[in-house]
Amino acid sequence: MVERHVVVRRAIAILMLCCGIVACGETSSVTATCALGPEFESSVVAADASFDNFSQTTPRQLQSTMSVLLLSLSRMRDVAPTEISTQLEDVERAYSEVSIALQAIAWETAIADSDPLVDQSLQVLSRGETIEAMGSLRDFFSTECKTELKALPALDNAGATTLPSPVGQLNPDAFVESSPDFDTEESALRAYGYYVADQIGEEIDDAAASCLGSALVDAAERSTPITEAEYDAFVIEAIAKCVG
């Protein structure tokens, strides 16, 4: 568990570093996408671990994990070359369905295992087209980035699992109307702030989490590459300012 937290924390450092590079316009779309690979894989690992054992995850941790994963996919899609844009959209759509289903039960991990909509949404991750899209992304990173994203299925496994479409209907608009805070900029920043604070063992409240999330995103948009030590120092300083 501790090792995974370290990996995720370092991955977020990489996210800040690479966002700074992209903002400066110094790299190609392939290079920018490659820089986001480790963070994306760590997010997938963290999300899959939560899905495997909801009872060992708190609602706040689950929401934060999903927010970071979807943020990672969104940022990757913004910079990725056209050759993998469709695959990224397919993967983002699949994880979004899971996020919507979990939002429908208010992220209550105690009932996630028995909720039919959550179960149906998780099946989407195992469908042939989703596996194929993930396999294509893994192949892209292997070929273009010389990086193995081992958390993603291999392309030669595509189509191995074919499940029926979910019986229920997941309507994103319905959940947005009933829960205005879901997936708003404020809620996303708050979840991001909580996620980062959790990795270094800091206890913060909603206001501080929103403040920290805003500081992290602002820094990522304007920063040049930084070291992990500089990132850690920045997070600690930002938390101190947000709490104070």
Q: Say how far residue 154 (Cα) sits from the centre of its chain.
A: 20
180 neighbors 70 (Cβ within 8 angstroms): no
pLDDT tens profile 69-111: 888 898 899 899 999 999 999 999 999 999 999 989 999 999 9
55 neighbors 163 (Cβ within 8 angstroms): no
Q: How many degrees, rounded to 5, is the angle at CA 175 between CA 57 and CA 42?
A: 35
Rounded Cα distance, 27 and 29, in Å: 7
User: Domain residues of the chain, as ranges?
Assistant: 2-243
pLDDT tens profile 12-49: 544 444 444 343 333 588 988 998 888 888 889 889 98
Residue with tokens 């999330």: 213
pLDDT tens profile 121-179: 999 998 889 999 999 999 999 999 998 898 898 876 555 444 444 434 444 444 333 33
Q: Say how far residue 207 (Cα) sits from the centre of its chain.
A: 22
Compute φ and ψ for 13, nearest 5 degrees: -60, -40
Distance (Å) of CA 169 to CA 16, 64, 96, 119: 36, 24, 13, 12
Rounded Cα distance, 216 and 214, in Å: 5
Of 141, 123, 115, nearest in space to 34 by CA: 141
Residue with tokens 């998780």: 122
Retrieve residue 166's tokens. 């979910």
